Amino acid sequence: MAHRFGGSWTERKLEALRDYLVQYQLIFKRNPGARKLKTIYVDAFAGTGGREAGERAADPGLFGYDDEEMRGYQEGSVRKALSIDNKFDRYIFIENKSKHAVALRKLIGTEFAALSGRCAIEEEDANAWLQEWCRAQDWRGQRAVVFLDPYGMNVDWATIEAIARTKAIDLWVLFPFAIGANRMMPKDAPPDSLWAKRLTAIFGTEEWKSRFYGETRKADLFGDAQGSIVKIAGMDDILVYFLERLRAIFSMIVERPLILENSRHTPMYALCFAAGNPRGAPTAVKIASHLTRS
């Protein structure tokens, strides 16, 4: 279904993002019609912007990160975006931790001072801010790329829906299908109410319950059938469902996302892409598909 990579998964993720931003800006620079549109880049979980992101919001006990994964998480996306030759008209970095936002301002001010006037740092909840921003913007004269690289399972489906409704945003989203969603679903029983609520927020529906859990019946010593609800889906089934959800609301998606593995070749994330603008979607998906397979 998807191409899998081992090794330095963080760098592969960031290189795919960077290469897409380069191609995206070339299109807007070279196409006379597209050149009239303002371009915006949004990093919704920007961290410090450096190679060491510091503390994590997700509990390692829940998601099972190892030392390599802790070091590699949320590294360098800000630098990657700001370093491309053809600059975006506007950069928006969302980071709700004050000390991370301070570090981010310092990074931009020292290494990318010439771009300071184009950069905005929002110390807000990424889901709430993005949903309001998508509703408030006039999308007739601008286009955007949004990068969702969350801490754990923190992206709400309502945010993804708000992005899709603009029909003007290309979305890169890192979905922790293996180390996140899959581990939140016990094999022998449905998750507790807290995790179930989070999964519903992530998928935007309670349909996941019937997709991933089913009843099994076993005869007891007296020949009576006893039913129990158990997990019937694997981690690939979870990713397939997430892609179905994306496909239903965006113009086009990359059908084979980039599967990121740790050094032990254990799947962790899927870097998924969805194109919002119907006119530009075929080109956007063609570029993104190449980057997820190369």
pLDDT tens-digit readout, 203-260: 999 999 999 999 876 655 555 556 689 999 999 999 999 999 999 999 999 999 999 9
pLDDT at 221: 54
Domains, the chain, with CATH or none: 3-176+234-293 (3.40.50), 186-232 (no CATH)
Quickly state the pLDDT bin for 10 (edges 50, 70, 90).
confident
- Residue pair 195/209 in contact (Cβ under 8 Å)? The answer is no
DSSP 198: H
Query: How many secondary structure helices (H) and strands (E) does the chain include?
Result: 11, 11
- Straight-line distance from the first to the last Cα atom of the chain, in angstroms, rounded to the nearest whole number: 15
- Tell me which residue of 249, 254, 248, 235 sits closest to 293, measured CA to CA: 254
- Residue in this structure with the two tokens 């990657």, named with its chain if needed: 80
Highest mean pLDDT among 53-57, 141-145, 259-263: 141-145
Nearest alpha carbon to residue 168 among 94, 267, 274: 274
Please list, in sequence order, all residues whose beta carbon lies within 8 angstroms of the beta carbon of residue 168, skipping any fewer than 6 positions away: 139, 142, 143, 144, 276, 277
Residue 5: which pLDDT band, with cuts at 50, 70 and 90? very low
For the cut 80, the answer to whether the pLDDT of residue 4 exceeds it is no
Give the number of residues written for the chain. Answer: 294
Per-residue model confidence as pLDDT tens digits over 52-66: 433 333 343 444 444
**Mean pLDDT, all residues of the chain:** 87
What is the average per-residue pLDDT within 145-171?
A: 96
Tokens of 182: 């899959």
pTM for the model: 0.87
Percent of the chain with pLDDT over 70: 85
Cα separation values, 211 from 206, 231, 237, Å: 9, 9, 9
Helix ranges restricted to H, the chain: 9-30, 60-63, 67-72, 77-83, 98-111, 126-136, 157-166, 193-203, 208-212, 235-249, 281-293
Give CA–CA dist 245/156, Å, rounded: 13
